[in-house]
Amino acid sequence: MRYDIGLDVGGTNLSAGVVDEEGRVISHAALPAGAGRSIDEITADMAKVSLMAVENAGLTLRDMASWGIGMPSYVNPRTGLLVHANCFGWRNVPIYRYLEPLIALPIYIENDANCAVLGETVAGAAKDFQNVVMLTLGTGVGGGIILNGRIYSGADGLGAELGHTKLFFRGRKCTCGQMGCIDGYCSARGLKETAKEMLTDGTLLWDLCHHDIRKLEAQMVTEAVQLGDQTAVEIWDLYLSQLAAAIGNFIAIFRPEAVILGGGVAKASDLLLNPLRKKVQESTFAAQEIGIPEMRLAQAGNDAGIIGAAVLEKYGIDRREK
């Protein structure tokens, strides 16, 4: 049996696991990320938590084939430098040089959103599919693409930024500095923004936020929809139409076998998937003639990032410093 270490580095936690060749996570370990500390300290903990996972599996480093790491950043495939990890304030860090002395295994590093879609493809909602688009509808919109069974991230590793493709010409200002990005409409933050624009007093949604628009949260919209609030129904319908337009673009470009949806907004699964399928069917190129791909919710949860990191050697892109 082959085993690999997968490490998911987030702004809050370092989550590691040992993954077997079937894509199962057989052990877990976690440490606080401790953002704000030096690169030496954080990379030391990345190694420590990975070794803890190996120990928790009752195995040794000799049983491991590779060390795969999902980072909230990109590694430039030409230079091997970690481009920028906002949560740690790192810019152009020679990350392999820090990690190689710590664990004597082949190291593979990839963006965390790409690891998540890979994890879903290996052991989650897109299992056995070769062409997959995943959107994570969280605070922002994350995205990942699997093409012909491998991660696709463009010539310089910065591709597949699906959240920062445009839904509107001169639309809302986005966190990336551009205007009209999908991120500004289809994320939880975007949904909240739409709700603020459409909210009127005397509605159930207005009661849910205690008559204070600053207290409005994205999940209150779906709560109010479930309670039958007409304004919330209209807000949610607009959100789904915008998300369907975005998904229709990705289907027209990639024609994947499956579109996978994850993140906080996707937790409203009963309200999301069926109406969204109908809208995607209506707003996608050639859908009347050839239909639309499978649309599914992400299944692997927090393990997706660990599994995706662990299988990078097999499915990823080698970004080692040249």
260 is an interface residue for Zn ion by CB under 5 A: no
Residue count of the chain: 322
At what angle are helices 269-283 and 230-254 packed, to 10 degrees?
50
Binding to Zn ion by residue 268, rule CB under 5 A? no
176 binds Zn ion (CB under 5 A): yes
Cβ 194 to Zn ion shortest distance, Å: 16
In the bound complex, what is the minimum distance in angstroms from residue 117's beta carbon to Zn ion?
19
Binding to Zn ion by CB under 5 A, coded x per residue (else -) over 9-38, reads: ------------------------------
User: Using CB under 5 A, which of the segments 7-15, 60-68, 159-167, 258-266 binds Zn ion?
Assistant: 159-167
How is the beta sheet containing 294-297 ordered, strand by strand?
150-151, 141-147, 132-137, 258-262, 294-297
Number of H helices, E strands in the chain: 12, 12
Yes or no: say if 50 and 8 are a contact pair by the CB < 8 Å rule: no
- Triad 133, 246, 270: Cα angle to 5°: 75
Closer residue to Zn ion (CB): 182 or 218: 182
What tokens does 85 get? 């990890």
Contact 164, 121 (CB under 8 A): no
Question: Cβ of residue 250: shortest distance to Zn ion, in angstroms?
Answer: 16
Any contact of residue 160 with Zn ion (CB under 5 A)? no
For Zn ion, the binding residue among 47, 181, 188, 246 (CB under 5 A) is 181
C-alpha 305/C-alpha 113 separation (Å) is 8
Rounded least distance, CB 111 to Zn ion, Å: 16
Q: Virtual CA dihedral for 51, 56, 60, 61, nearest 10 degrees?
A: -30
Q: How many residues bind Zn ion (CB under 5 A)?
A: 6
With CB under 5 A as the contact rule, which of the stretches 96-104, 168-176, 263-271, 287-295 interacts with Zn ion?
Answer: 168-176
List, edge to edge, every strand of the sheet that includes 13-20: 25-32, 13-20, 3-9, 64-71, 107-111
Question: Minimal distance in Å, beta carbon 189 to Zn ion?
Answer: 11
Can you tell me which of 174, 205, 220, 224 binds Zn ion, judged by CB under 5 A?
Answer: 174
Q: How far is the CB of 241 from Zn ion (least distance, A)?
A: 20
Site for Zn ion contains 139 (CB under 5 A)? no
Q: What is the rounded distance in angstroms from the CA atom of residue 220 to the CA atom of residue 239? A: 14
In the list 164, 172, 189, 192, the residue contacting Zn ion (rule: CB under 5 A) is 164
Rg for the chain (alpha carbons), in Å?
20
Give the nearer residue to Zn ion in terms of CB position, either 183 or 303.
183
Q: How far is the CB of 176 from Zn ion (least distance, A)?
A: 3
| Interacting residue ranges for Zn ion, rule: CB under 5 A | 164, 174, 176, 178, 181, 183
